[in-house]
Each structure stands twice: as structure tokens, then as C-alpha cells.
Structure 1
Amino acid sequence: MRDNTSREASNVVKEMINKAITKKFDVKNMISISRTIRIADLGCSVGPNTFIAMQNVIAVVEKKYYSQVLPSEKLEFQMFFNDHISNDFNTLFASLPVDRQYFVAGVPGSFYELLFPSSSLQFVHSAYALHWLSKVPKKLLDKKSLAWNKGKIHYIGASDEVRNACAAQFEKDMENFLNARSKEIIAGGMMVLIMVGLPDDFQPSETSTGVTFNFLESSLMDMVNAMSH
């Protein structure tokens, strides 16, 4: 789910994440429960962006821990890397940093559902992943519907009915995502979400992603038309 764009996004918000952890992450409460800090990266893909982001989180948490606590023992970190079951976890694990200071586990499955036991995570991170819908809205596949997205692969340049159907699905997905995380994160824990967004007066077709999808859509339609003749 990640590319160079997500890495740039992570770099931009890195300072914001550091400040949020420093100010709000209740490390004293965390260690009163366990000396192991459990962190999940949702939508991890195959790296290396996920490793860079997680190492930054660990560094800031450790800094706060040692500044507030006179530790009798070192913190331990358990990292959960999540993505769809079709993700290449073999590549992910093969490219793990050799000098990592954390334990690793892979968690396949959709982050729109429960993935972890109740109150089991102290920190959740997800970057450049939540813009993907859990499924194509049924209206877009119904030829009798005004939202049937004939000849298109995206909502960009589509009708209001198409955009509204996608927006409704996104609302349901986000509700499911937040409900699941509310059960999995312990009190005093933290969640960081890096998401795609546009100002109200900015059209999706004006973005680099929009231009890319328009070109891809045109190419695919040309291929379909050529094969049908």
C-alpha cells in the first residue's frame, strides 16, 4: 500500500508524531501494566517505509521513558505488521533490519475488522492506507443504478452518484476501523493516522494521482476496445 509518496508523507509528519508522543503518550501507565510496548502498523506493505516509521516511534517512546522513569530494566517492544492476506509477508520479513531492537509478528487481515485481543495494543500507526475502501460499493457494479461506473476505474471525473456511493462506503469503513481500534488499544494508548486529503475547493482530477488514473483508465479502455473489434 505504500510508495515514495507515503515516505514523503511520513517525513512531513514525523515531527508532529514526535511531539504528540512526547506530550500525550502515557508511558508511565503503559509500564505499570507491562514492560513490553506493543505497536501495530496497519497497512504495512513490504517495507522499508514501515521499518523507518516504526523505528522512529520506538526512539521517541524510549526517549520519553528514560526521561521520566528511573528504569530498573529496559523496555521491550513487540511489533505487529498488518496487511491483507495477499501481502508479500515473505519479502517483508526477509528485509527486516538486522539491527532491529524489537520482536516481530505478522498479522494478516483487513484493518476494517478486529485484528487483536481487547486492550492489547499501546500504539497503532497507519500511513497512506485508509484511503482504500474495504470493497467496491454495490451501486457501482449495478447496471441499473445511477451510480454504475461504466467505463471508469475510479471516482475521478465520475458522476455525483458515484462519488456519493464511495463516500458512503468510506464512512462505513471508518466507523468499523475506529470501533475495532477502540477495543484493541488500552487506556492511555495512542493512534497515529496519516491519510490522504484535499481542500474543499481542490478537485481530485487536479492531483498527480488523478492524472495518473485518467491516463491508466484511457489506456485500459483502448485495450478493451481493440480486443472487442
Structure 2
Amino acid sequence: MIDIPSVQWAGANAVKAMIDDVIAENLDVEKIFSSSKSTFRIADLGCSVGPNTFVAKQNITDAVQQKYQSQGFASQMPEFQVFLNDQASNDFNTLFASPPPERPYFATAVPGSFHGRLFPNFSLDFVYSSYALQCLYKVPEELLNKNCAAWNKGRVHYASAPDEVAQAFTTQFTKDITAFLDCRAKELVVGGLMVLIMPGIPNGIPHSSSLTGGIFDFLGQCLMGMAKEVS
């Protein structure tokens, strides 16, 4: 069985060098300094409750501090404010019970769906999301319609399902990611940066051949077996 938190931790560390490069090459420190901004605001969308979000925020703040120092603005280092976002049902009490004791930022909880607006216009400098955007805003309606070719009877995933099921998921994801990007376009400052990490498969690979698909199919069979025993 895949340990999801470990996968997320590995993903966050795998992109650390990429984040360092993105910030080093694209963060306009002189522009930020000339605007008299004293706070650098970071949002983690879909943060969940584990320690991985704090690892990622440390990587980002370290890279920003390095950029300021390399540009000769070490004495004008901004304060950092981190917004930790997830659904309102997220266990924020557990999340805030385990932050690093000497974190270089102020942390704030922002409950709500990232498929809608969460922040004022032009208020964020950096948006980060790891292994969250693959979660759909809602179940495609076609999957719940017994008279539709996309009715996903007896399955919890689309890997072994008809193409109509995969297409229903694709259509919903297209709507969701469009809404997400539209909202972030309004919330990011001009020149703001965004890093998004999500699982995927290369173009041309059948969805039935994906590793995660096989895992979820196996999980679905276990759940269906348990449901039959209960009934």
C-alpha cells in the first residue's frame, strides 16, 4: 500500500531545486522593495494536517531569503505570512498543534474550497499546492445516473471503467482547474509565482495502465467485498 504522506513528502523535496530555481530566476525583489511591501504572503492550498506543508513552506521561505540576500536586500528582508488552506472540515487543530517551533513566518488558517475565491485581489506573492488539485470539486453527475453510459457501477475509480467514465472525470477536472486558475489570477500580485504539484500520467498512456489506477481498483474491490458481507 502506498503511504500517501510519504509520497507527498517525496514530491515536495523532489521539486525543492525547481522552486529554488523559479524563485532565483523570476522573483523581482527590486520591484517588491520599491513598492514598500514589508510582508511576503504565501498560500498553501490543500494543506491537509500533516507536517509536509511545513517542510514545503520552509523550502519556499529559504529560497526567498536567499534571493533577497543575493540581490543585496538582506537588511530589508520582509516578514513572511503563510495561509494554510483546506476544506472547512479539515482538522486545523491537529495542523496547528505541530508547527516547527522556530518557523520564520506567521501562520493563518483559511478554510474553504480552492475552486473559489479565498483572498483579496492582488494579495498573494506565492501560491503552492501539492497533491490536492486532483481532488474534484464534485462527483460528475453522469457517474450517478444509472441510465448513462458513464455510470460507474461497482467501481471507485476509472482505470478499468469504460471511456465514458474517464471522459466524465476529465470534463469535471477541466471545469475545476479552470475555476482554480481564474481565482488565482485575481489573487496573485503582478509577477507573483505559483507551484502546483499533482499526480499524472504521460500523454498516450492508457488510464488502465496507470499505477495509481491499479491501486484504486484493488481498493475498490476490497470495499465492494466488505459491502457485500455487511449486506
Count, aligned residues = 227
| 1:133 corresponds to 2:101 | no
Identical aligned residues as a percent: 51
The counterpart of 1:74, out of the listed 53, 64, 77, is 77
Whether the aligned pair in 2 keeps the contact of 1:28 and 1:69 (CA below 8 Å) is: no
Q: 1:58 aligns with which of 57, 61, 66?
A: 61
Contact 1:123–1:191, Cα closer than 8 Å, also in 2? yes
Find the residue that maps to 2:109 and give its secondary structure.
strand
**Which region of structure 1 is more displaced relative to structure 2, 22-31 or 98-107?**
22-31
* Deviation for aligned residue 1:71: 4.6
- Residue 26 (structure 1) aligns with: 28
Of 192, 197, 204, 1:194 maps to: 197
- Which residue matches 2:5? 3
Aligned to 2:216, the other structure's residue is in SS state helix
- State the AA in 1 paired with 2:8: S
1:164-209: per-residue Cα shift (whole Å, max 9, x none)? 0100000000100000000000001100111211112434444442
Aligned residue for 1:3, secondary structure, equals helix
2:152 maps to what in 1?
A: 149
Secondary structure in structure 1 of the residue aligned to 2:15: helix
Instruction: After superposition, give the CA deviation of every residue in 1:4-62 in whole Å (9 maximum; x if it has no partner).
Output: 11111112111111111100111222233312100001111112111011101101101
Cα distance in 2, alignment partners of residues 64 and 165 from structure 1: 43
TM-score, normalisation: structure 2: 0.93
On the 8 A contact 1:21/1:61 being kept in 2, the answer is yes
**Is 2:170 the partner of 1:167?**
yes
The answer (yes or no) to whether the contact 1:44–1:81 under 8 Å persists in 2 is: yes
TM-score normalised to structure 1 length: 0.94
Matches within 5 A, 1:51-130: 51-130=54-133
Q: 1:29–1:188: 8 Å Cα contact kept in structure 2? A: no
Q: Is 1:184 the counterpart of 2:156 in the alignment?
A: no
Give the match for residue 48 of structure 1: 51
> Once the 2 structures are TM-superposed, how far is the Cα of residue 153 of structure 1 from its aligned partner?
0.8
Question: Is the contact made by 1:38 and 1:78 (CA closer than 8 Å) also made in structure 2?
Answer: yes
Q: Is the 8 A contact 1:43 1:129 kept in 2?
A: yes
Aligned-partner Cα distance in 1 for 2:135–2:124:
23
Shift of 1:72: 4.3
Amino acid at match of 1:39: I
3-state DSSP of counterpart to 1:30: helix
The answer as to whether partners of 2:159 and 2:209 remain within 8 angstroms in 1 is no
> Aligned with 2:19: secondary structure?
helix
